Amino acid sequence: MQGPSGSGKTYSSLLLAYGLVGDWSKIAVIDTENQSADLYANLGDYNVISPGLPYTPEKYMEAIQCCENAGMEAIVIDSLSHEWETLLDIHSNMPGNSFTNWSKITPRHNHLINKILSSTAHIITTVRSKQDYVLTEKNGKQVPEKVGMKGVQRDGLEYDFTIVFDINIKHFASASKDRTGIFGSLPDFRITAETGEMIKNWCLSSEPSVEADPKDFLEAIQSCKSLDQLYRLYNENPSLQELHKEEFVTQKSKLLTPQNFRSNGTTAH
């Protein structure tokens, strides 16, 4: 669930969670947004846990485990942007080579994502988005040009989730990614508890009525950065394994082949 500040991510996530489980007491919010979850207490008796600063991946994982131990069936992480901002801050203050330092940061982030993906509960995350720009040449000058909204999180995060809802400032949502095939063709809509019920019914269905977009799935294969990620994508989509067998094999070969070549003018070791 991603959108700018004030778009209604927390409220929409709570309604979505209720539609998924139908019991407010089985919903927990991991709140890093200055107790914003308390603003919607009128909805029902859901639970709130506030990890406290700094918002490291490990604190998120501890909070998820706490929710699971308490029998929560739906967990709202509000917001996952703070985890990435914390890691960026840690990285910027590390001495030594910047590129090498990422090898210490990335595993921490990956452990959190794996914890989310392997959770026994439904997990909804919110991500704050901001205006993204690219530099384009106009009249011989480089000028910034708006190219839409960009989530404050690591690039490629969306490939790990089943659905990505983009919410605008008027509280209307659209699905920029949808493996269920339910929302991709719909006009912008407001998320309600019924939205969660639709996802729940899809989860309970052995054969989803609408197949995921093949183009999106191909992009997901090509975006896998590790064998673990590729295997997870393969195992989670048995109905698409045979259809995309060649693409899976090709991506596996790329991941197994050492990248010893560099751009012209540099040395390969």
The pLDDT of residue 137: 80
Q: Which CATH number fits domain 2-206: 3.40.1350, 1.10.405, 2.60.120, 3.40.50?
A: 3.40.50
The pLDDT of residue 258: 54
User: Rounded CA gap, 50 and 46, in Å?
Assistant: 13
User: If 0-12 CB within 10 Å is exposed, 13-18 middle and 19+ buried, where does residue 72 land?
Assistant: buried
User: Rounded CA gap, 167 and 64, in Å?
Assistant: 25
The pLDDT of residue 147: 53
The pLDDT of residue 219: 85
Which pLDDT tens digits describe the chain residue by residue (269 residues)? Answer: 999 888 999 999 999 999 999 999 999 999 999 888 999 999 999 999 999 899 999 999 999 999 999 999 999 999 999 999 999 999 999 999 988 999 999 999 999 999 999 999 999 999 999 877 778 888 888 887 765 567 889 888 888 899 999 999 899 999 999 988 899 888 999 999 999 999 999 988 844 444 456 677 888 888 888 887 887 787 677 667 778 888 888 888 888 875 444 434 444 44
The pLDDT of residue 89: 96
Cβ-contact 40, 11 below 8 angstroms: yes
Domain ranges of the chain: 2-206, 211-257
